[in-house]
């Protein structure tokens, strides 16, 4: 059994059974046996089941949100959004079964057609920072494409995934088509990698573990989608609306207490407005409301665990410029913190802190901004603040990242593709592109000319 801890109170809120390697293999075997019947379900009927699943999630929004607040320390506002995201992603991919089009390709002597066919059993490994949305990004397109899914939630945050599994069955999905198996990554996740019946692994988490999963899957030429770390730049040019850029900057990095691969944890400001930007940023940071995640007014909750808080604390040194506030007493609290690094190679500049910590650096011109923005092994997300449309396009094309926003910190829309470059991962989730990751193209030639 695994104890589930509320990070805002440090109290045990639940105990969840940890799945063994043998039980994981049994779940994979059941998913494999369920595959032929599930892929044979008429497209309209599969779509209808996914819509019913989405409706079941929507009907359970208050319960799911409360579970996430207690389990993950997410603010209640964020938790409700996350439930809605699962619902919306299911509705979006409910349209896919009837639109998995092949092609007719002109060839001599016959007809050539292609089919988009399911891969088989898909293993989805979910991180602790966004347990509900990231689960949905994996299982919704996989199920829509006719695959069966075995999902492993993070050890720290299994509660909402377990509930989503229950809702799927209540909605009418066959029990073995979508299974949730809580447990250790070294046990459950490893079986996803090693068991040959699993034909694809979807992993969101650290780059280090992602490399291990990719290497393990290579032994069986098994497909992977990897969404890994990020060290994203928020580039602010002198011609930007500085007031808007400074006011929004804390929410681009401190949302979910900075435990977000898309966090804009490096603010790059043009040197001519650097001091003015810092003047505007300080009150914005002090204004972030940190506290009880169940309170409607709270904007930032705690970190996930004591060990993670210790990891974030290790980045603190004399470069602290200013900090916000955080509650005292029980809970894994950490105040929003702004650092002015001494060198471009400071740990907080180079490494993914994964907490409410942001560095601020100066740049001279566009070329210098791009040099700093790309001076990282990661390439997931980022923001560009400027009033010059031409500059926005030039810099967006120059930044090595999979998702960029101009005068915004938006990273995720379920109807557009999401994913990283370099050490931030492989493949794309969400939007129309995700279905390609869960289907195999079969080519069929039919001869029409007589002998």
Active site amino acids: 227, 261
State both tokens at 136: 């949905």
Cα gap 242→102, rounded to integer Å:
49
Helix (H) or strand (E) segment spanning residue 69:
helix 61-72
**In angstroms, what CA-CA distances link 57 with 13, 75, 189, 242?**
22, 19, 26, 40
Which residues share a beta bridge with 11? 6
* Distance between CA atoms of residues 182 and 178, nearest Å: 13
The angle that helices 389-398 and 366-373 make with each other, rounded to 10 degrees, is: 30
List of residues 6+ apart from 350 with CB closer than 8 A: 231, 376
The rounded distance, in Å, linking the Cα atoms of 301 and 72 is: 9
Residue 367, exposed/middle/buried by CB under 10 A (0-12, 13-18, 19+)? exposed
Contact partners, residue 279, CB within 8 Å, separation at least 6: none
Joined tokens for residue 184: 């250790």
Of 198, 195, 166, 169, the C-alpha closest to 182 is: 166
> Greatest CA span in the chain, whole angstroms?
85
**Which residues are paired to 200 by β-bridges?**
122, 223
Task: Name residue, tokens 């969101």.
Answer: 204
Q: Are 176 and 148 in contact (CB under 8 A)?
A: yes
Q: Which residues contact 111 (CB under 8 A, 6 or more apart)?
A: 104, 445, 446, 448
Q: 13: how many CB neighbours lie within 10 A of its CB?
A: 13
What DSSP string describes 354-389? Answer: -SSEEEEEEE-SHHHHHHHHT-SS--S-EEEE-S-H
Distance CA 101, CA 116 (A): 7
3-state secondary structure of 119: coil
Give the H/E segment covering residue 162.
helix 159-170
- C-alpha to C-alpha distance for 445 and 451, rounded to whole angstroms: 16
Whether the Cβ atoms of residue 165 and residue 53 lie closer than 8 Å to each other: no
DSSP assignment, residue 345? T
């Amino acid at each position: 059994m695994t104890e589930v801890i509320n990070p805002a109170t440090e109290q045990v809120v639940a105990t969840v059974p940890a799945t063994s390697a043998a039980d994981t293999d049994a779940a994979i075997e059941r998913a494999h046996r369920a595959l032929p019947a599930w892929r044979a379900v008429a497209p309209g009927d599969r779509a209808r089941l996914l819509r019913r699943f989405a409706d079941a999630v929507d009907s359970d929004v208050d319960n799911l949100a409360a579970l996430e607040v207690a389990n993950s320390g997410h603010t209640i506002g964020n938790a409700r959004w996350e439930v809605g995201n699962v619902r919306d992603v299911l509705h979006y991919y409910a349209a896919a079964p009837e639109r998995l089009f092949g092609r007719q390709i002109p060839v001599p002597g016959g007809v050539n057609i292609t089919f988009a066919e399911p891969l088989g059993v898909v293993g989805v490994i979910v991180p602790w920072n966004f347990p509900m949305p990231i689960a949905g990004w994996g299982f919704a397109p996989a199920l829509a494409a006719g695959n069966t899914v075995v999902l492993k939630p993070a050890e720290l945050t299994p509660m909402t995934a377990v509930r989503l599994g229950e809702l799927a069955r209540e909605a009418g999905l066959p029990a073995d088509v979508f299974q949730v198996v809580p447990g250790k990554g070294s046990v459950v996740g490893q079986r996803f990698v090693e068991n040959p019946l699993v034909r694809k692994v979807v992993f969101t988490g650290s780059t280090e573990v992602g490399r291990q999963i990719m290497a393990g899957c290579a032994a069986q030429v098994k497909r992977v989608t990897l969404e890994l770390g990020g060290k994203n730049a928020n580039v602010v040019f002198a011609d930007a609306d500085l007031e808007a850029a400074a006011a929004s900057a804390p929410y681009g990095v401190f949302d979910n207490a900075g435990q977000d691969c898309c966090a804009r944890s490096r603010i790059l400001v043009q040197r001519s407005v650097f001091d003015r930007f810092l003047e505007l940023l300080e009150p914005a940071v002090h204004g972030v409301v940190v506290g009880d995640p169940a309170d409607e007014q709270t904007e930032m909750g705690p970190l996930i665990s004591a060990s993670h808080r210790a990891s974030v604390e290790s980045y603190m040194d004399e470069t602290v410029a200013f900090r916000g506030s955080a509650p005292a007493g029980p809970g894994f609290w950490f105040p929003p913190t702004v650092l002015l690094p001494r060198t471009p190679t400071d740990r907080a500049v180079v490494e993914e802190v994964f907490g409410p910590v942001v560095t601020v650096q100066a740049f001279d011109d566009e070329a210098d901004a791009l040099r700093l923005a790309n001076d990282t092994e990661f390439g997931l997300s980022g923001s560009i603040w400027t009033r010059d449309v031409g500059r926005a396009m030039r810099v967006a094309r120059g930044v090595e990242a999979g998702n960029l926003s101009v005068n915004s910190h938006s990273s995720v829309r379920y109807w557009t593709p999401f994913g990283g470059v370099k050490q931030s991962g492989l493949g794309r989730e969400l939007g129309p592109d995700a279905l390609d990751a869960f289907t195999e193209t079969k080519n069929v030639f039919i001869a029409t000319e007589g002998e």
